[in-house]
Homo-oligomer: A and B are copies of this chain.
């Protein structure tokens, strides 16, 4: 069982850099988020990564396994972008810090709309992939976010809205423009990858949430 041993390897030292494997995951992130799981064929995946199709099954047990690796990678990136800050913010109820976290969330969604694209694709109906997303990634994020939003409401920093609604308002209002990037480009004169547009969107969401109190661009 040579294959099995290699798949074991794949799971053992994740940290070790494997450029080919990383190129495949990068291609998977793009294609899965654009075309959905079923819409992305392993052949096109491989072509975009510049490798032969069976190589996917060498580095990953199955197409599902590759999808999970792509999801893991995206959530790891978001965690890295938000975690250090948000953890301490929740602890001491720092409103300005919380605002910065929300801004960073919006900016991340603009930089990596693939994350929300993949979430959206699987959150519409129950299924094994939604199980994986919710149990492994989304629920912990939701719980901490709800806690953060609760402190903001209690502090009067944002209007008195139940945290469940606030959560879906923010995760909807923030990323949608960037998730629908190609559509936005056709409908409007704005370029959703332009940093000025991204900042303007973060300003807009924060203005609605926090009111016209502090400076639009927080550190």
Binding site for B on A (CB under 8 A): 33-39, 113, 117, 119-121, 123-126, 130, 134, 138-139, 142, 159, 161-162, 164-177, 179-184, 186-190, 200-201, 204-205, 207-209, 212
Contacts and interface: CB of A to CB of B under 8 A. Distances in A.
Contact of A179 (B124, B161, B164, B204): B124
Given A134-B183, A177-B172, A166 B39 contact: no
Nearest to A164: B188
A218 B34 CA distance: 39
A45 to B, nearest CB: 14
Majority-rule SS of A interface residues: helix
27 contacts: A33-B124, A34-B125, A35-B125, A113-B124, A117-B124, A119-B180, A120-B120, A123-B183, A124-B181, A130-B182, A142-B187, A142-B188, A159-B212, A161-B204, A164-B177, A164-B184, A164-B188, A165-B201, A165-B204, A167-B188, A168-B177, A169-B177, A169-B201, A171-B176, A172-B174, A172-B175, A208-B208
